[in-house]
Structure 1
Amino acid sequence: MTILVTGSAGFIGSNFVLDWLADHDETVVSLDKLTYAGNRENLASLDSDARHHFVKGDIGDTRLVSSLLEQHRPRAVLNFAAESHVDRSILGPEDFIQTNVVGTFHLLEAVRAYWGALDEQSKADFRFLHVSTDEVYGTLEVQAPAFTEEHPYQPNSPYSASKAASDHLVRAYHHTYGLPVLTTNCSNNYGPYHFPEKLIPLVIRNALAGEALPIYGDGQQIRDWLYVKDHCSAIRRVLEAGQVGETYNVGGWNEKANLEVVHYICDTLDREAPRADGLSYREQISFVKDRPGHDRRYAIDATRLERELGWRPAETFETGIAKTVRWYLDNQAWVENVASGAYREWLSQQYA
């Protein structure tokens, strides 16, 4: 048996592949375009593993995807491939439309043709699992109930709008063509192999480098934080037992304001890797102009996933962030390898 994982060299995709092959003998075919956030080094530990086949390519390349499907005959396709950073979508939205909307369409077309030619039992067993985000739901007031699967879509950034469009395409391919799909909408992930443009890895890297820790606005934007390996376990559970055509919200039950998250990281680093001058890393915090259209709060209600499939996160925020900080302390060479000159130029532009 085989599964095809797209976006497999990205943050969440690579963690999924690594965890899958740690627990399963089932072969994984990895497909990744290797853009700036797709890092082949994330999967380097699998280079000699016969169960893993990596292919550099685009989900929008229908001929390539079709050939991989015909060659490897996967029982499932898991779509992690996406441009995923809100800030970059504000500066340059076209890449997000091309990958998240057009790319997902071409991927669905290739999968639909492959699935349609399967025998009846294989068609019944096949799954297309689409990994999405809570940002498609828009923003919440501080006291409002958390997002459930029934919450209306109200995306507020080019990124979230592009993911909302891809979600709608996946839903349409199920209801129109019968493609057996599953969709997951997750809250903010963090953990190993996280590209250092996002808040938590950015703060860890900048703190250790003696650089400013940029905080948008007043730092009171609230997010639900989900340790990436918990997210991967939820996806495995949905793939195993999720109801075809349905959506499952995946959250960490850890709502925290951005400034609180940064304070926690600084305090953890104060203990684990104290500054030479004895001062706290909090001294490096710098408030910068808020980004356009910044959503104030996201919160996921993952009750359905627990009630129907028995899943809950294993990590609290405190245990997850401790593991994350330790991983970055132990893997600083990885961070510097991905933090290229182009990345530094982007940081200067974004937080000027």
Structure 2
Amino acid sequence: MPANPPKRPADRPDELYITRVYDAPVSAVWDAWTDTEQVAKWWGPRGFTLTTHSKDLRVGGHWTYIMHGPDGTDYPNKTTYYEVEPGRKLVYDHGASDDRPPLFRVTVFFTEEDGKTRMDMTMSLATPEAATEIKKFIKKAGGEATWDRLAEYLGKERAGKELFVINRTFSAPIETMFEVWTNPDHFSQWIPPTGFTMKFIRADIRPGGSTFYVMTGGNNLTMYGRAHYIEIARPHRLVYTQEFVDEQENISRHPLAPTWPPAMLTIVTFTEEGPDKTRVTVEWQPHGNSTAEEIATFVQSRAGMTMGWTGSFDKLEAKLAAR
């Protein structure tokens, strides 16, 4: 088993940090990072594709590639490796090209924990101001979705599951985050899509319990839904299913996407990243019997799901800040 990464010092204003946990051993995660055929299936924000021209994974070696944006724009990149410890650590520059200096230095550790892999990444910049600007740029470009796409890729390769994964770190204690997910008064204020409001008709949030709710939006659109709670492990984990229903709670379909899977499984994991910092990981997947067409609709909708969850998370972030 690889040695644990060194304990991270207190957050520095000229650095950005990302931690993820993947349901795969270190060997699988390392291969997904370093094998050019595998990395092409997940590297970059949603909608981007990748062409590798050369990769020399050694100290002093380079990875030369082009990221192709969904609008057709090409982004040449030339990574230089400074440390390569197979299965444990990479240090490299990111964002450079032949005529452009790197944006930042990356240090990433891979640590096996109970058969899973924890990825700890530090992005080091020249100044705190540069770190602030890069953080804004990464958020606008959807760059953190790269690491969610890796989770989806690993889920598909190892378990044959089509997943949607999204993470967000909030400046709030873990108990607060659990509360805003399980208290209907809080949950209904931030979870609806932008432009919608939500009202609970019934809220019995406990293992074996269920909720029944209605969302209303523009153009007089009304959607009814129901959730069944499978697992509630305060304050670290929620598992529930969701389905569209009509006003009498009869099973229905998504009013705007008739080939959307009839039921979804949601797994929410809360992880402490500090006394007042919590990472929320949402894993979404079709539940029960879904047709090939419904699975395809789900897979093709990941970009839209990212936008929807990002809008909800932005509202939650504002709500937490107001408290």
Superposition TM-score, scaled by structure 2 size: 0.26
Structure with greater proportional strand content:
2
Structure with the greater alpha carbon radius of gyration? 2
Name the structure where helix makes up a greater proportion of residues. Answer: 1
TM-score where L is the length of structure 1: 0.24
| Higher normalized contact order (CA 8 Å, seq sep 6+, divided by chain length) | 1
